Amino acid sequence: MGQHYYHTGQFAQKASVSIRTLRYYDKVGLLSPSQYTEAGYRLYTDTDFLSIQQILALKFLGFSLEEIKQFLRTGPTILQESLALQKAMMQEKRIQLDTIIQAIDETAELLQANKQDWESIVRVIQVIQMQPTNDWRKKYFTEEQLNQMEQLSNKYYSEEQRAKLAEWGKDWTEEDQLAANQQWGEAIAELKLLVSTAQDPASPEAQALVQKWQNLVHQFTHGDTGIQQGLRNMYKDVSQAPAEQVPYPLPYNQEEEAFLQKAIKIYQQNHSQK
């Protein structure tokens, strides 16, 4: 049986999306038609229909179009990790919402009984306004790992630098951390894909990865050159240290590290000439 083709309007109707949406997805490289007619009209297939169903499902789950593009490129592994992170964030929100609902119910019962218990009403306000603490870190790291990270911080950053990091991170929540984990996971998955497909470190894809990598590093260092140097020194030593002496293993191997460093060097050379 031959392949069935759909013009843009037919495909939009089949997928329950607008023609404008299909054109935009094509423009940003998220979903391009399988073929074009001699006159330049887009032609979509049933395979494209499966792809757009994936896109719409991930969009419904709250992922951005850029994240979805990465998932489609890197395969199911990073998607599974991202779904797990998304689930964890939703569970945290559900716990907080359940606590708020319970406090509201208790206050409503008091008001129905004509008991204007202002302490309970104030408690509702406090629950709604409560801010997460850093206790969430203990859900992801053991005491030993937290101690090792503290030792690394003391070794590679000055007292002034540690004070800066503490100030920048005082409002850092578990949701922020999960989002950062997801961003780093996508970048590392892309690094592994580039190496596994023998891409050139000077390729546009590799250089785009370097830009993304540097943006993620900047989120942590805020552009502070001293902290950037401390971070480089730390990762250099951690990559060479025995596993029992580091809080967590590096997520990429020596070949991937070498590729990344070559790509970064090329990126720096290209931008120093501008």
Beta bridge partners of 43: 7, 35
Among 62-71, 160-169, 184-193, 260-269, the least confident range: 62-71
Residue 104 has pLDDT above 50, yes or no: yes
pLDDT in tens, 207-256: 999 999 999 889 889 989 999 898 888 888 877 777 666 666 677 788 88
**Domains in the chain, start-ordered, CATH in brackets?**
6-60 (1.10.1660.10), 62-130 (no CATH), 137-272 (no CATH)
Q: What phi and psi, each to the nearest 5 degrees, are found at residue 7?
A: -70, 165
Cross-sheet strand order for the sheet of 6-7: 6-7, 42-44, 35-36
**Is residue 41 within 8 Å of 26, Cβ to Cβ?**
no
Residue 4 DSSP one-character state: P
